[in-house]
Chains A and B, each alone.
Chain A
Amino acid sequence: MENYASNLLLSGKRIDNRKLDEFREIEIKQGIIDKAEGSAMVKLGKTKILAGVKIGLGTPFPDTPNEGMLIVNAEFTPLASPDFESGPPGEDATELARVVDRGIRESKCIDLKKLCKTPREMVLCVFVDIHIINHDGNLIDCAFLASLAALMDTKIPKIKDDRIVRGKFEKDLPVLYKPIEVTVCKVDDKFVLDPMFKEEAVIESKLTVCVRDDEKICALQKQGSKELTMDDIKKMIEIAIDKSKELRKLFER
């Protein structure tokens, strides 16, 4: 499925004149769904992703009796791309949700211990639901930004008689870190960030790296059907660490 944009990328140029390591313009809007406890729409160029956070009550997992639960789910809604079909989440949606989940969970950016009401009996469940609205490439990075923005917007609802009182809030969800996921793509011998949908046609391997504020790496996921050398991996991780610093500034106010 090669095209003009992807062929241009092979020669090291981009159709919108960006540098290879340059992201498209990012726009973050929080608090746009009033029924959700937290929400955010992130536009990354023409890629649009909406993330909503709902808070519920549940019984904790037996092995973590005093921790709240985090559940991340992604829907590739058929409205976002002619390639998406309705039905249960497919392989790519599942992978996206799990990679975002891993970044949030392993970075410990939400203090799940603070979400326990009664040990072994009742904890808060944080549901992050990711909806792709328009697919123009680089879904994982965009979905992660949307999820983080939505979590930072989340308020914990009031609980009365073991029930959630909707519309009344206690406090903000404690978000301790601002991890960032950056997907570094390899095209020939070049490393590229934030590919558009058309550019993704020639990308054979990618590495998603989750970097926390203190530069700890919290998640890695290699994707694509081609292999990487050890040197590639090390370079890609360095690129991701650098880029994460720049992207994190979006959340500083």
Chain B
Amino acid sequence: MVKTNEKLIVKGKRLDGRAIEDLRPVKMDVDVIERADGSAQVAFGNTETIVSVYGPRKLYPRFLQKSDTGILRCRYNMAPFSVEDRKRPGPGRRSIEISKVTRLALEPATFLTDFPKTVVDVFIEVLRGDGSTRVAGVNAASIALATAGVPMRDLVVACSVGKIDGKLVVDLNGLEDNNSEADIAFAIMPSKEKVTLLQMDGRLTKEELFESLDLAKKTCKKIYEMQKSALKESFKD
């Protein structure tokens, strides 16, 4: 983690040249893992995640099965080499919490009651971490679920919003994240504007918070279009 006392916004531009409402270059690919039922790779600048989805498949051990619905399991994991100081392998407290909120972010979009006694497994690996990894994970997981053919109400689209140098910005990179006054992880099902993930830490007034939520919603609509075109692209030939 790098702390800096330098200004993060100079003449309306962020240190990587972006305007405050600009995303980093986004790359989305689907069907990147042949063995998986669905998979996707999503990069926001230097943050890169790869996700595979297995299922709906029979859930074992059997006592975990639910007779009236299928269940969703998520595992968010950071590769040890994805960050500056090696991340100790294995689930830490942060990964456990993120795995949980990711599952809850995706669950409302799925129709798992059609698949009793089954499980849908979502495995998220962060290959390169440079801020906003959990939302990149959600974005990738959402299109991976779609390519796996899991019936969904809508795609789940996520983005981060934060406050740096007194201004609200979207898609924080690692440096901005470490030096932010506040940051928010947000996910929404855009067609009906249903929010499925909301986490925030920092210090914001109510007005700033409401403004950042609206900004997050607006940004998610942009990412939604990218997700849709990534999916369309995969069915082209």
Q: Mark B205-237, 1 if CB is under 8 A from A, else 0.
A: 110011001100100000000000000000000
Closest to A99 in B: B97
Cβ-based interface call for A102 (8 A) = yes
Cβ-based interface call for A94 (8 A) = yes
Closest to A98 in B: B97
Whether the Cβ atoms of A215 and B194 lie closer than 8 Å is no
Report chain A residues within 8 Å CB of B202.
Answer: 106, 218
Report chain B residues within 8 Å CB of A79.
Answer: none
Inter-chain CA distance A233–B1, complex, in Å, is 31
Q: How far is the CB of A113 from chain B (nearest CB, A)?
A: 13
Q: Mark B83-122, 1 if CB is under 8 A from A, else 0.
A: 0000000000110110111001001100000000000000
- How many chain-B residues does the 8 Å CB contact rule pick out? 35
Q: How far is the CB of B176 from chain A (nearest CB, A)?
A: 15
- How many chain-A residues does the 8 Å CB contact rule pick out? 37
Whether the Cβ atoms of B194 and A229 lie closer than 8 Å is yes
Cβ-based interface call for B124 (8 A) = no
Q: How far is the CB of B17 from chain A (nearest CB, A)?
A: 25
Give the segment of A139-147, A154-162, A220-228 that binds chain B.
Answer: A220-228
Closest to A108 in B: B203
Q: Mark A182-223, 1 if CB is under 8 A from B, else 0.
A: 000000000000000000000000010000100111111111
Whether the Cβ atoms of A227 and B205 lie closer than 8 Å is no
Q: Mark B195-206, 1 if CB is under 8 A from A, else 0.
A: 111111111111
The residue from B178, B200, B210 contacting A219, defined by CB atoms under 8 A apart: B200
Cβ-based interface call for A237 (8 A) = yes
Closest to A230 in B: B193
Q: How far is the CB of A180 from chain B (nearest CB, A)?
A: 15
Name A224-243 residues within 8 Å CB distance of B: 224-230, 232-234, 237-238, 241
Closest to A106 in B: B201
Cβ-based interface call for A16 (8 A) = no
Closest to A64 in B: B3
Cβ-based interface call for A246 (8 A) = no
Inter-chain CA distance A95–B217, complex, in Å, is 25
Whether the Cβ atoms of B205 and A228 lie closer than 8 Å is no
Whether the Cβ atoms of B100 and A220 lie closer than 8 Å is no
The residue from B2, B99, B198, B203 contacting A63, defined by CB atoms under 8 A apart: B2
Cβ-based interface call for B172 (8 A) = no
Inter-chain CA distance A220–B198, complex, in Å, is 7
> Can you identify 26 A-B contacts, CB atoms within 8 angstroms?
A63-B1, A63-B2, A94-B97, A94-B100, A95-B97, A97-B93, A98-B94, A102-B201, A106-B203, A107-B203, A108-B203, A216-B204, A217-B203, A219-B201, A222-B101, A222-B195, A222-B198, A224-B104, A225-B104, A227-B195, A229-B193, A230-B193, A230-B217, A234-B210, A234-B213, A237-B209
Starting from the known contacts A63-B3, A220-B199, A237-B206, 17 additional A-B residue pairs (CB-CB under 8 Å) come to A63-B178, A89-B93, A91-B100, A95-B101, A106-B201, A107-B203, A215-B205, A216-B203, A217-B206, A219-B201, A220-B184, A222-B198, A227-B194, A229-B193, A230-B195, A233-B195, A241-B206
